Structure 1
Amino acid sequence: MRQNRVRFMSLLLLTLISIGWTYAQTLVTGKVLDKELKSPIVGASVSTGQGATLKGTTTDAEGNFKLEVPRNATLTIRSVGYVSYTHKLSATTRTYALGTIYLVEDAVSLGQVEVIASIVPKDRKVPVPVSNISLAQIESKAFNTEFPELLKSTPSVYVTRSGGGFGDSRIMMRGFDTNNLGVLINGVPVNDMENGRVYWSNWAGLNDVSSLVQVQRGLGASRLGISSVGGTINIVTKNVDAKKGGSVYTGIGNDQYVKYGFSISTGLMDNGWAVTASGATSYGDGYVKGTDFRGWSYFLNLSKKINEDHTLSFTAFGAPQWHNQRSARHTQEQYAEHPDKERMNLEYGYLNGGVYSARHNFYHKPQLSLNHLWRIDERSSLSTAVYASIANGGGRRVDGKIEKVGGKTVRYTNWIEAYRGKLDPIAKRTASGLVDWESIFAANAAEGDKGSKVILANSVNNHQWYGILSTYRNRLDEQFTITAGVDGRLYKGDHYKQVYDLLGGVNYQNQLLKNQIDAGKTFLKPGDIFDYHNIGEVVWGGAFAQGEFTSDEFDAFLSGSLTYQGYRYLVPDGYNEANYKKLAADIRDRAASDRVNFMPFSIKAGASYKFLDYNNVFVNAGYFTRAPHFGGTFLNYSAEINKNLTNEKILTAELGYGFTNEYVRVNLNGYYTKWNDRFLRRSSVLDTRQYFNFRGLNAQHMGVELEAEARPVDELRLNAMISWGDWRWGGKTLFDVYDESQTKVGDGEINLKGVHVGNSAQFTAAFGFDWEVFSKLHLRGNVNYFGKNYADFEPTNRLSKKGGEIEVYTGDAWKMPDYTLVDLSVSYNFELYKGMTATIFGGVNNLFNTRYIADATDGVKVDSNNVRTGEDALVWYGFGRTWQMGMRVNF
């Protein structure tokens, strides 16, 4: 009887709550159109709330929407490239028809960003596969998460934390690393001009200032002549919002992680000005032992709408930081035997009561840009961005003498370093296995005037980079649009090694100065430059053009680019102070090169066809050439030009299908990419520490990707993806071998046919949800599966030295174990005061503390079937369970 009363009271309570909920809600309907074109805007977000608690829906293929919201709520409609629309409801009925809402292009700053960055709308008028990460998703996932990890649920994307240091994450897309991806911030390319890499520690503040991230896989929509073999990552910063208000936030996480920051914006004021500023700082001990860090970030945007035709926007952004690192990988057995397990780091110890690491990175790469948008008339516009980046910083490394002792070669760097994961018997370690700095200081001091046997040096990489991007766009009529522009860049990189810490000694005398006259009198002190000092100059000039056809059902484009890239290598006259002039002639002759010129080009085309209202198919194809990176152009770290190089050649094609309505969005596509004449430079695993240049490498990447989103009810958003790839190296390639003094000591040929591309999972799947459990309380979860992941074969890891001959190992790379990760987060929004809200959030990554190998370098041990076992593979484990929690106040 009592149970029946309890059930009755529970049912009555639920009924009353339901009645109250229903009474307090209003069903809003409407239609969103482009004001100028009068065409539907597909995928526009319609929502209430802000930040991590956005509740809403998106417009369908006809621009229609319906959303149940609290009465008297404020409704906001947003779409990439348009000014946001805000409407305060005053509904007194159960339904409310908002009618037709016309959005206008955002004149504050997104106009030029959209033109230069080539942002693709959700209706896929440009036929390329696209994934978007919205502001709400960024704010709900980004705390205590590095920027690349925001993309880990994207098809064919693989992200790891590498050695575990702050900002040391890496990202692969369709099997290609950032050297071969295009990364743009507000349309400005940020890939390194010499090697194409993106160092994410330089952009640690992106999580705090991004409003949209768009991943374009494959050819991408960018018209620039950038080397986006695998895809393009477009990042649009918050200055485009130009919405009045701001926020302050703070939070904590695992391993003493602390972060706090602010953001504030005036919105577009009556005088035409808009100002947005933000700043943040974070610090912690790091998940991997001995990887403590400190980072800052700042962002400023000043925009001025001069009149209806002209808008100026100035942006300054930077993220100075320092962090300790872990560079050495180890075998699975070595991790298992160490008390720190997968957090093991053998490159640090304690000195004067604090962590002192042999591996340390420090850098500051501010970027300044001035954008001008000129609306020439109703159909044409000219968008120009002038930008500059002046960077300073580098990384700490171990340097030491090499001597013959008792007939054996002794490398004193082994006092500190673990070579190929193993400690040398001469390693100086404390009882707990850490670097024994005090013992090293004492040993160096005992050498007296002979100088330190081992020191710490900084490898410094400063650069100055100036550029201009200008894009003209003309909508000839309702169907044809042409876009053309220029891309100019000047780059100068200054690279040298500099004595940092003598570790107790009085000077340092290095064998790499052996070719200097009177080398024995070369006593180096902290701040002295040695070993190398070179300057890389890059001149870049490109032109691009694209024609587009658009109709209700059919869209097509044809684009091309032609780029001049000129490289020059030189050594400054003042290298190593006065000692440079004492260099022997064979070294001095390497001091300057002629300019090496390349003329890569690209041509790509695509088309899409929309049918039966909600369906579309697309196809694209392209062929482009790419200049070798700077490091492959010059041999032996000198001005000697590699005469065997040629432009690398890439052919790619793609076919896809999409379905979109107000409840579901599904995209399916398949791709094929062929890459010929690729150049690679790698260090070997040989005990003699040699270096290899591989030329003429070929690779083939193909696969299938499926991505889906669904909103079965307003309170629940689901997303899923699955991708399968087959990425392999192919054919024979030639290599040249160099010793530590950069003297050629041999050459050979290796057959890589069928070997899988490594360290990028070729089979991935993900499922996620965002559930508003009740008003303003959101629960989010993600499950990610990674399989078919092979060790990085690093061509030289198939070579060994036996009896003076190079032996070539065959067979595929080691296949790492598959793994699945589960992440969970929660947030709750509430009102603090009129016009001021707060969000409390928390989350756990790798909820079940799964132990998994994220990165590996191939070994040589095989079983009876000649399959690699992975026993001697050098690996990094991924992070175990991590957590974060914090609070954000919006005003």
Structure 2
Amino acid sequence: MKQVFLRFTLIGALCLINLVGAFAQTVVTGKVVDEKTSEPIIGASVTIGSGTNLKGAVTDMDGKFTLETPSTATITFRSVGYQTQTRTIRNAGRKVNLGEIELSYESTALDVVTVIASVVPKDRITPVPVSNIKLADIESKSFNTEFPELVKSTPSVYVTKSGGGFGDSRMALRGFDMTNIGVLINGVPINDMENGKVYFSNWAGLTDVASFIQIQRGIGASRLAISSVGGTMNIVTKNVDAKRGGMFFSGIANDGYLKYGFNFSTGLMENGWAVTASGSTSYGDGYIKGTDFRGYNYFLNVSKKINEQHTLSFTAFGAPQWHNQRSSMYTQKQYEENPDGIRMNLEYGILEGKVYSPKYNWYHKPQISLNHLWKIDNKSTLSTAVYASFARGGGRNAAGLQPVSKEDKDNGIRDYRNYITAYKGQLSKEALRTNDNLIDWESVYGMNAANGDAGSKVILANSVNQHNWYGILSTYQNKLDENFTLTAGFDGRYYVGEHYKEVENLLGGKYFATGDLVGRDYDIVKIGDEDKKVVKKGEMFDYYNKGRVVWGGLFAQGEYRNDYISAFLSGSLSYQSYRYDVPYLYSSYNYDKLISENIRDVKKSDVKTFIPISIKGGLSYKFLDYNNIFVNAGYFTRAPKFAGVFLNYSTELNKNVKNEKILTFEAGYGFSNEFVGINFGGYYTKWDDRFLRRSGSNRDFYNFTNMSATHKGLELEVNARPLDNLKLTAMASLGDWKWGNKTHFDIYDDKQKNIGQGEIDLNGIHVGNSAQTTFALGFDWEAFENLHLRGNLNFFGKNYADFEPAYRVGYDKDKKEYVTNYSGDAWKMPNYTLVDLSASYKLNMDKVSVSFFGGVNNLFNKKYISDATDGSKLDKAGKRTGEDALVWYGFGRTWQVGMRVNF
């Protein structure tokens, strides 16, 4: 009897405990974020129960929520455009923090971008090193910060403002410049088809519409045959957000900077449509003297989810702009002696009360694309992007250079002269300058007018560079089973680049007489005892040519993933053909023995074809829950740049041109839990048969063939969250990047005439203008709710000047040949450390939030050299002193403040 009583008592107690537990309330908190970008999802529903028992909450402007639930409950998270997710709690206490709940997109435009651009999800244990820059970081820095600077705290990245003009920043990754970094915007490659360059002044609006940026160092996960020797930069814009709302913003910064604009999105509506639009403008005086600018940015995306199988997304964006530039470097002594100091610029003057510069750039490169996603079934998709880009613009320069006089040569003026030009900080006695050492435009006009029938002695000419570019990317992906995915596709491009020089301003003269005419119907004027052809405003001279590139590529990748292993193997095969058209040839072309005599009559080159290949693979293994190791390797060949195929702007093919060869591999270790993430790795890249063109010291230039370089190093990246309101970041990279072997060179003057050739020894010379040792520390502290304080410390060291060929090569009169006269290393620039601070505060109101932000870059106004070209002077130990090296200083202290209104 007692046993029966005890059993009933125990059962009753358990039922009472369960009943109390069922009615006990638990306060559940958390934050709902986007799986890909980690950005908060505003207005997501958080619910329990159903029907009349449905209870829920909605996430706020930061994606956060609070919900009272029973201690045992299933919580459902929903947001338009995202896949529904559930979380279950059991016998929980009074408070539960679920942390970040990540929602993944349904079949929207992001899927198209992810497939085509090879964006790596942050939670994937990937065999390639990846760094993500999120929207919050972009918005906190983007007002007076150019796009490359957003990634300067990434391992092995080096960013400078170059000459300091608007949008003239440059970036290097693992010692490779922008021509060797693949850049994609929503899956579409944007590196120039002829030279591989990326000019960020053409993409200034990206800071307004970027959703996140992903840097993949090394071979990367991209399957396209792009210029990813150093790595790949994937930029995904806000057209994939599918969130309803908008934003108005404005801000000011140093040196008269002002920017204002808007973003607006309908989100993914019930009818399947989504529209995102953005526009802004900015202008200012520029930190460097005489570099004022004006830029406009526009962006439009219209997406339509037709049904569960088909989604269309149309995007158009562009950034028309103009800006005055500084193109000349100077010695350290010249900066010190100039009253403008590091802001020194001798390439401008004042005309009619405004800055007028012979160095001026204007450009507009709009890009439009139509993306289609076809979800064939629950395992396979076909993503296709058709795009086009129509670029128009160019740069302004002075024309009418005359050889220096004997007197100028005796005084150290080694280059050419005219009324305007200051070359490497040196002015000839003919240069017309004001008391402030600026270009005296009124005197230039007067002197040209005084020449009368002889015409202008110096003019301003536009070097026009425009192109039409059409492309298609189509990618098929099939998830064959739970673990294996097959991806294959086609990459097709057609490009025509048109280049010519035209008269922009005669500067007071009647016309301009030159021997280098590209047309036939020019006026003939008697100047002195000679009859000369002359050009007037808007007429072409000097050169006119077209570069044609046809590209077709096939790529395929197999990927295996389970809970412990992630592996991939991919390959590509490309067809690339180049053709050079010269409708009008130089009338005064001097061809030497390397150029056939009958080339004068050839207006179209033969087609030169290359078949580059690539193969790469990687493996990552996860163990003990939080650890993983990875290894990857790749070998690929790459077609040389256009200039290496058609040397010296002629239609004759370079007979020695060949595919460049790149071998690379890397290995690493990663650790990641909810408090800390650590990624450590090493890499090795060998590049052979490289072509390189470098300017000399006297307006000549050198063509190097069969060059070799080795880049190797170690990289460490750490992210930690010791407290809920504190994020810490750290980075370190140690590189060893050097040129190798002896290489052949040809020297050409500014008329494309060969004036010499030889061999130069570059063994052991460090790759220049990219810091090989970098460290960074950063924090993001939410000191109070919605008040963020952010700081970054960046160290840059082991940075060498770019080698100057003219100071390494000399002419041996006895041997009657050019020889290497200096084989030591380039000048090593001083190390430097920069500190940046910023703050932001978000004020949340009903359906509206207002964000205030401000920041200071280079807080301690550090004076440092960011770019340099090697000089010739040596110390007693035979090392370069840098005394006559030509340099650019980085910017001193700059600031920005602004506000955003989100609705």
TM-score by length of 1: 0.89
Deviation at 1:441, TM superposition (A): 0.9
- Number of the residue aligned with 1:198: 198
The reply to whether residue 376 of structure 1 matches residue 386 of structure 2 is no
- Number of the residue aligned with 1:822: 835
- Number of the residue aligned with 1:785: 795
2:728 to 693, 709, 718: 718
1:380 corresponds to which letter in structure 2? Answer: S
SS in 1 for 2:112: helix
For these two proteins, the number of residue pairs brought into alignment is: 827
2:677 corresponds to which letter in structure 1? Answer: R
Counterpart-to-counterpart distance in 1, 2:181 and 2:766: 19
SS in 2 for 1:222: coil
- Number of the residue aligned with 1:321: 321
The reply to whether residue 468 of structure 1 matches residue 468 of structure 2 is no
Deviation at 1:82, TM superposition (A): 5.9
- Number of the residue aligned with 1:484: 488
Deviation at 1:745, TM superposition (A): 2.0
Counterpart-to-counterpart distance in 1, 2:766 and 2:468: 38
Sort the Cα spacing of 1:27 and 1:426 in 2 relative to 1 into closer, same or farther, 3 A.
farther
Contact 1:26 1:70 in 2 (8 A): no
SS in 1 for 2:126: coil
SS in 1 for 2:342: helix
Counterpart-to-counterpart distance in 1, 2:83 and 2:623: 30
CA RMSD of aligned residues (A): 2.8
SS in 2 for 1:636: helix
1:126-205 alignment runs, 5 A limit: 126-205=126-205
Deviation at 1:28, TM superposition (A): 2.5
- CA offsets, 1:312-336, max 9 Å, x none? 0000010000000000000000000
Q: Please, which moves more after superposition, 102-111 or 773-782?
A: 102-111
1:812 corresponds to which letter in structure 2? Answer: D
Counterpart-to-counterpart distance in 1, 2:408 and 2:839: 60
The reply to whether residue 542 of structure 1 matches residue 535 of structure 2 is no
Deviation at 1:632, TM superposition (A): 1.0
Contact 2:518 2:544 in 1 (8 A): no
- CA offsets, 1:796-832, max 9 Å, x none? 442356768645322000000000000000111113x
2:544 to 515, 530, 533: 533
- Number of the residue aligned with 1:795: 805
Sort the Cα spacing of 1:680 and 1:100 in 2 relative to 1 into closer, same or farther, 3 A.
closer
Sort the Cα spacing of 1:179 and 1:403 in 2 relative to 1 into closer, same or farther, 3 A.
closer
1:671-710 alignment runs, 5 A limit: 671-685=683-697, 687=698, 689-710=699-720
Deviation at 1:834, TM superposition (A): 1.5
Deviation at 1:776, TM superposition (A): 1.0
2:721 corresponds to which letter in structure 1? Answer: R
Sort the Cα spacing of 1:405 and 1:288 in 2 relative to 1 into closer, same or farther, 3 A.
closer
- CA offsets, 1:485-511, max 9 Å, x none? 000000000000011011111100113
The reply to whether residue 812 of structure 1 matches residue 825 of structure 2 is yes
1:78-89 alignment runs, 5 A limit: none
1:419 to 404, 409, 423: 423
2:29 corresponds to which letter in structure 1? Answer: V
Deviation at 1:49, TM superposition (A): 7.7
The reply to whether residue 561 of structure 1 matches residue 572 of structure 2 is yes
- Number of the residue aligned with 1:10: none
Counterpart-to-counterpart distance in 1, 2:623 and 2:273: 44
1:658-677 alignment runs, 5 A limit: 658-677=670-689
Contact 1:421 1:874 in 2 (8 A): no
Contact 1:175 1:230 in 2 (8 A): yes
SS in 2 for 1:45: coil
Deviation at 1:741, TM superposition (A): 1.9
- Number of the residue aligned with 1:430: 434
Counterpart-to-counterpart distance in 2, 1:700 and 1:661: 35
SS in 1 for 2:140: helix
Sort the Cα spacing of 1:401 and 1:170 in 2 relative to 1 into closer, same or farther, 3 A.
closer
Contact 1:68 1:714 in 2 (8 A): no
- CA offsets, 1:680-713, max 9 Å, x none? 112211x4x3221100000000000000000111
Counterpart-to-counterpart distance in 2, 1:263 and 1:147: 18
Counterpart-to-counterpart distance in 2, 1:485 and 1:173: 27
1:768 to 759, 768, 778: 778
- CA offsets, 1:295-349, max 9 Å, x none? 0000000000000000000000100000000000000000000000000000000
Counterpart-to-counterpart distance in 2, 1:171 and 1:875: 17
- Number of the residue aligned with 1:551: 562
Counterpart-to-counterpart distance in 1, 2:642 and 2:853: 45
1:230-309 alignment runs, 5 A limit: 230-309=230-309
Can you give the 5+ residue segments of structure 1 that lack an aligned partner in the other structure? 1-24, 33-40, 51-66, 577-583
Contact 1:47 1:76 in 2 (8 A): no
Contact 2:518 2:543 in 1 (8 A): no
Counterpart-to-counterpart distance in 2, 1:458 and 1:84: 57
Counterpart-to-counterpart distance in 1, 2:889 and 2:100: 53
The reply to whether residue 45 of structure 1 matches residue 38 of structure 2 is yes
Sort the Cα spacing of 1:670 and 1:358 in 2 relative to 1 into closer, same or farther, 3 A.
same
SS in 2 for 1:721: strand
Deviation at 1:380, TM superposition (A): 0.3
1:555 corresponds to which letter in structure 2? Answer: S
2:332 corresponds to which letter in structure 1? Answer: Q
Q: Please, which moves more after superposition, 214-223 or 505-514?
A: 505-514
Counterpart-to-counterpart distance in 2, 1:76 and 1:185: 34
- CA offsets, 1:412-450, max 9 Å, x none? 644322223322232211111101111111111111111
Q: Please, which moves more after superposition, 792-801 or 868-877?
A: 792-801
- CA offsets, 1:612-666, max 9 Å, x none? 0000000000000000000111022110110111000000000000000001000
- Number of the residue aligned with 1:874: 886
Q: Which has the larger radius of gyration?
A: 2
TM-score by length of 2: 0.87
Sort the Cα spacing of 1:515 and 1:121 in 2 relative to 1 into closer, same or farther, 3 A.
closer
SS in 2 for 1:227: coil
Counterpart-to-counterpart distance in 2, 1:875 and 1:401: 24
- Number of the residue aligned with 1:9: none
1:27-106 alignment runs, 5 A limit: 28=29, 45=38, 47=40, 71=66, 95-96=95-96, 103-106=103-106
Counterpart-to-counterpart distance in 2, 1:549 and 1:621: 17
Contact 1:512 1:741 in 2 (8 A): no
Counterpart-to-counterpart distance in 2, 1:286 and 1:72: 51
Sort the Cα spacing of 1:796 and 1:545 in 2 relative to 1 into closer, same or farther, 3 A.
farther
- CA offsets, 1:450-500, max 9 Å, x none? 111111100000100000000000000011110000000000000000110
Contact 1:293 1:323 in 2 (8 A): yes
- CA offsets, 1:819-858, max 9 Å, x none? 0000000111113x42011001110000000000000000
Sort the Cα spacing of 1:361 and 1:502 in 2 relative to 1 into closer, same or farther, 3 A.
same
- CA offsets, 1:156-204, max 9 Å, x none? 0000000000000000000000100000000000000000000000000
- Number of the residue aligned with 1:18: none
1:593 corresponds to which letter in structure 2? Answer: S
Counterpart-to-counterpart distance in 2, 1:522 and 1:84: 74
- Number of the residue aligned with 1:335: 335
2:110 corresponds to which letter in structure 1? Answer: L
1:629 to 641, 655, 660: 641
Counterpart-to-counterpart distance in 2, 1:788 and 1:404: 38
SS in 2 for 1:179: helix
Sort the Cα spacing of 1:344 and 1:416 in 2 relative to 1 into closer, same or farther, 3 A.
same
Sort the Cα spacing of 1:794 and 1:625 in 2 relative to 1 into closer, same or farther, 3 A.
farther
Counterpart-to-counterpart distance in 1, 2:473 and 2:753: 42
1:256 corresponds to which letter in structure 2? Answer: G
1:569-608 alignment runs, 5 A limit: 569-572=580-583, 588-608=600-620
Counterpart-to-counterpart distance in 1, 2:146 and 2:165: 11
Deviation at 1:85, TM superposition (A): 8.0
- CA offsets, 1:548-596, max 9 Å, x none? 11111111110000001000000236999xxxxxxx9856424210110
